[in-house]
């Protein structure tokens, strides 16, 4: 199963203007939005270059460092050298130049039957367009931002239908799950 876990403001932003994430850390522990059981069920991660840059800048380590395993970063321009945190503690970080579909294929193989997690709106949008995303797990943060990086930014295409699943409140977050139809 390929899933996308993301925290957003009520008005649909996953980051403020300029990729600012401070609003989120002020209000909720975004890492805590992903439970330990969820981390344990994740066999590999695919993330985009932009998300990776924010991660690399702000707080290296996936899910607060709890995820250790194969990590695939989609980018046409891999940084040289790869940062140390991508190699430490079994991270097995790797850059993929061939795009999202290839990265997800690698990740599925590496996950050994466990789930593949996506990080980053761009990667998730492409996965949806390629019909490779199964579930969206959204933690709704109790805030209105008004501006920033949108959950799903796409023009002129048909709506993507979902099916609502579980709902749970966890601290300040309201966690919603949706199956992509």
* Binding stretches for a second copy (CB under 8 A): 8-13, 16-17, 23, 27, 128, 136, 138, 140, 142-147, 150-157, 159-164, 167, 169, 172-174, 176, 178
The conformation of residue 83, written as its DSSP 8-state character, comes to: P
CA 4 to chain centre: 5
Whose Cβ is closer to a second copy: residue 56's or residue 135's? 135
From the CB of 83, what's the least distance to a second copy, in Å?
30
Whose Cβ is closer to a second copy: residue 81's or residue 159's? 159
In terms of DSSP bridges, do strands 115-119 and 2-9 run parallel, antiparallel, or are they unpaired? parallel
Report the phi/psi class of residue 58: left, alpha or beta, with left for phi > 0 and alpha for psi in -120 to 50: alpha
From the CB of 110, what's the least distance to a second copy, in Å?
28
Q: How many CB atoms lie within 10 A of CB 161?
A: 9
From the CB of 56, what's the least distance to a second copy, in Å?
25
Whose Cβ is closer to a second copy: residue 3's or residue 13's? 13
From the CB of 125, what's the least distance to a second copy, in Å?
8
Q: Which two tokens stand for residue 58?
A: 């702000």
Whose Cβ is closer to a second copy: residue 106's or residue 126's? 126
Rounded to 5°, angle at Cα 9 from 8 and 14? 40
């Amino acid at each position: 199963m390929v899933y996308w876990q993301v925290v957003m403001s009520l008005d649909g932003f996953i980051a403020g203007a300029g990729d600012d994430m401070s609003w989120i850390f002020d209000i909720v522990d975004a890492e805590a939005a992903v439970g330990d059981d969820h981390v344990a069920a994740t066999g590999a991660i695919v993330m985009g270059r932009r998300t990776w840059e924010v991660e690399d800048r702000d707080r290296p380590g996936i899910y607060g460092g709890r995820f250790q395993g194969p990590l695939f970063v989609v980018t046409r321009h891999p940084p040289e050298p790869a940062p140390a945190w991508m190699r430490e503690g079994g991270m097995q970080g790797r850059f993929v130049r061939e795009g999202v579909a290839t990265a997800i294929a690698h990740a599925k193989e590496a996950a050994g039957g466990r789930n593949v997690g996506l990080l980053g709106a761009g990667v998730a949008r492409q996965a949806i367009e390629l019909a490779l995303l199964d579930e969206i797990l959204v933690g709704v943060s109790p805030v209105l931002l008004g501006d920033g990086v949108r959950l799903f930014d796409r023009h002129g295409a048909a709506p993507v239908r979902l099916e609502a699943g579980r709902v749970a409140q966890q601290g300040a977050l309201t966690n919603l799950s949706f199956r992509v139809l």
